[in-house]
Chain A
Amino acid sequence: MGGELKTRNGAGAGSGHVGTAGVTGSAARELAEKVAGLLAAGEVRMFLGYGAGRTPLRVVPRHVLRPEGAAGLLWNEFCAPSLAKYLLEEQEEEGRVGVLVKACDLRAFKRLVADRRVDRERVLLVGVGCPGVVDAARVEALLGEPVVEAGVRDGKLVVETRSGVCELPREEYLLERCLYCEDPNPREVDLFVGPEVAPRPARPRDYAEVAEVAAMGLAERAAYWDRQFARCLRCFACRNVCPACSCRECCFDVWEPTWLPREVSVSEQYMFHFTRAFHVAGRCVDCGECERVCPVGVPLMKLNRALQKEITELFGVERPWEPQEKEPLAMYAPDDPDFH
């Protein structure tokens, strides 16, 4: 590799063209070997990992069915999507499925298990230490043209487009969730590949972004949300990606009662966004996938985090983003705060 950028479309872990030297490179090689072994031994009928996408920054989920397919698996600093929710579809079929999880994805997985939507026994969790993933949207917005190659070299994010090569400070282009990450190594997995990753100092959860909104006056705040919600296309990507949003029948998909009419107005967007956030209140795992997949940049985590903050304040739940033994809104205490 010799410091050269090698992540190209289609290049996989097994091909020797591993995009990132160091931590993810060795983990990627180990992953391909282990997955090939698991499939050959019949331990899992399918393995769910990452594969090359349209650009090096945009990896896609890859379903591997045969040992030889494991060579196409990717693991690098661009593997942002959480794969846990894809397990819902896999539950329909018999047999055990393997899935690659980062520490944040493991929280999502635990959510699905706690909600009894995924059977823990039928999943083989393969954990990997994560050095933090890159926020592709911000890099793309900065460059303004398609990325042909990308990788990480000496802690720098190196991206190549047709007009040249650009070096960026990786730490500044991480997804927000990575800044809050306390332990980048998933625990309680069935198999761990690659080396453990040293944690970086985690940003304290001080809800600064929530306080910023709360500091506005009521009218100003309503105007702020009007602007945010007016952009919403109602594509439901935030709902579809959310590990806490897994109802078999969603209230937005039924016409009787019509919780959300076809009409797209700011008023109806309030109904959608209020409901989406409130339905995951106390169950949101703070993975930030909703905000990451939003095509118009609605600050959805400002809604989720506001609810987390209130749940802590009102009901004393210290870490509301972790699956609780009993969900805060599925229980009560006789001495809960009353209305005055």
Chain B
Amino acid sequence: MPVNEPHGAAARAAAPGGAPGGAHPGPAGWEPRIIGFCCNWCSYAGADLAGTSRLEYPPTIRVIRVPCSGRVNPQFIVRAFQKGADGVLVAGCHPGDCHYSTGNYFTRRRLQLARRFLEYLGIDPRRLRITWISASEGQKFADTVREMTEEIRALGPNRVMRDELWAAN
């Protein structure tokens, strides 16, 4: 792990000007890392459908399957940003379609607040996307990942909250 490169506050100060001439403000060869929390019943199946339908989307997302979007403790999101994620996607069933009837309604409330609070702490709200993807929306899953990747590529690597060990790239 390249721990000798500038990290923490130093890296953050350097980030806006970093990689002159590059398409993004990150170091050369950097690609966004996105952690995706997908609910078992809709969004994970949606991601599966994107795969079986051979839809192309950038390989920037690492999907973690959760029983319900309501399982996504906001601490998971903070931990993801700490350990090197540049973006976090939380995807669940559409409101009203939750396998457990109301799980995603609670998620919506909780994560609306968490998202605004993270913004208050300095995390760009574009780095945290919460969206509803049904099992039949493979296309929406692929589009979401593509859009998010492009957006985060333009923002560059996340530095806020990041554990120094992961800060170098």
Do A and B belong to a common assembly? yes
Question: Are B121 and A274 touching (Cβ within 8 A)?
Answer: yes
C-alpha gap A271/B96 in the complex (Å): 32
CB pair A271 B112 closer than 8 Å: no
Q: Are B120 and A315 within 8 A (Cβ)?
A: no
CB distance from A319 to the nearest CB of B (A): 17
With A221-B122, A274-B74, A332-B108 given, is the CB distance from A266 to B117 under 8 Å?
A: no
A334 within 8 A of B: yes
A223→B95 contact, CB < 8 A: no
Q: Mark B114-153, 1 if CB is under 8 A from A, else 0.
A: 1111111111100001110000000000000000000000
Q: Distance (Å) between the CB of B121 and the closest chain A CB?
A: 5
Closest Cβ–Cβ distance, residue B19 to chain A (whole Å): 17
- CB of B59 within 8 A of chain A? no
Task: List the B side residues contacting A114 at CB < 8 Å.
Answer: none
Interface check A280, CB cutoff 8 A? no
Q: Report, nearest first, the 6 A-B pairs whose CB atoms are least far apart.
A: A222-B122, A332-B105, A270-B161, A221-B122, A267-B163, A222-B160
Q: How far is the CB of B10 from chain A (nearest CB, A)?
A: 12
Min CB gap B1→A, angstroms = 15
Chain B, residue nearest A259 (CB): B75
| Nearest CB of A to B115, in Å | 8
Flag whether A87 is at the interface (Cβ < 8 A): no
- Report yes or no: A339 in contact with B122, Cβ–Cβ below 8 A: no
A324 within 8 A of B: no
B24 interface contact, C-beta 8 A: no
Let me know if A266 and B8 touch, CB within 8 A.
yes
Give the interface size bracket for A toward B.
35 or more
Question: Which residue numbers of B lie inside 8 Å of A, CB to CB?
Answer: 8-9, 12, 16, 74-75, 78-79, 82, 95-96, 102, 105-106, 108-124, 129-131, 159-164
Do A223 and B121 touch (CB < 8 A)? no
B residues near A251, Cβ cutoff 8 Å? 75
Residues of B within 8 A of A210 (CB): 120
A38: Cβ under 8 A from any B Cβ:
no
Instruction: Give chain B nearest CB distance to A299 CB in angstroms.
Output: 12
For the A-B complex with A210-B120, A222-B121, A314-B109 known, give 20 more contacts whose Cβ atoms are closer than 8 Å: A218-B123, A219-B12, A221-B120, A221-B121, A223-B12, A224-B122, A225-B121, A266-B8, A274-B118, A274-B121, A275-B75, A275-B78, A277-B117, A314-B113, A332-B109, A334-B96, A339-B112, A339-B115, A339-B130, A339-B131
Q: Would you call B121 and A270 a contact (CB within 8 A)?
A: yes
Assuming the contacts A265-B163, A336-B112, A339-B108, asked whether A218 and B78 have C-beta atoms less than 8 A apart, the reply is: no
- When the two chains form their complex, are residues A315 and B109 in contact, meaning their CB atoms are under 8 A apart? yes
Q: How many A-B residue pairs have CB under 8 A?
A: 108
Contact B112 A337 (CB under 8 A): yes
* Interface pair A306/B95, CB less than 8 Å apart: no
Evaluate contact between A336 and B108: CB separation under 8 angstroms.
Answer: yes
A307 at interface by CB-CB < 8 Å: yes
Which partner residue on chain B sits nearest A275 by CB separation? B75
A-B contact pairs, 13 of them (CB 8 A): A218-B123, A218-B124, A221-B120, A222-B160, A267-B161, A270-B82, A274-B117, A274-B118, A306-B120, A336-B108, A336-B112, A337-B112, A339-B108
Decide: B95 and A338 in contact? CB cutoff 8 A: yes
Query: Most chain-B Cβ atoms within 10 A of its Cβ — which of A210, A270, A314?
Result: A270
B116: chain A residues within 8 A (beta carbon): 310, 314
Residues of B contacting A214 in the complex (Cβ-Cβ under 8 angstroms): 120
**Residues on A with beta carbons closer than 8 Å to the beta carbon of B160:** 218, 222, 270
Contact across chains for B122 and A271 when beta carbons are under 8 A apart:
no
A332 → chain B closest CB, angstroms: 4
A339 to B162, CA, bound (A): 25
Cα A259 to Cα B75 with chains together (Å) = 8
Q: Complex formed: what's the CA distance from A334 to B97 in Å?
A: 12
CB contact under 8 A between A267 and B82, given known A307-B113, A314-B112, A332-B102:
yes
A127, chain B: closest CB distance, angstroms: 33
Cβ–Cβ contact B121 & A332, under 8 A: no
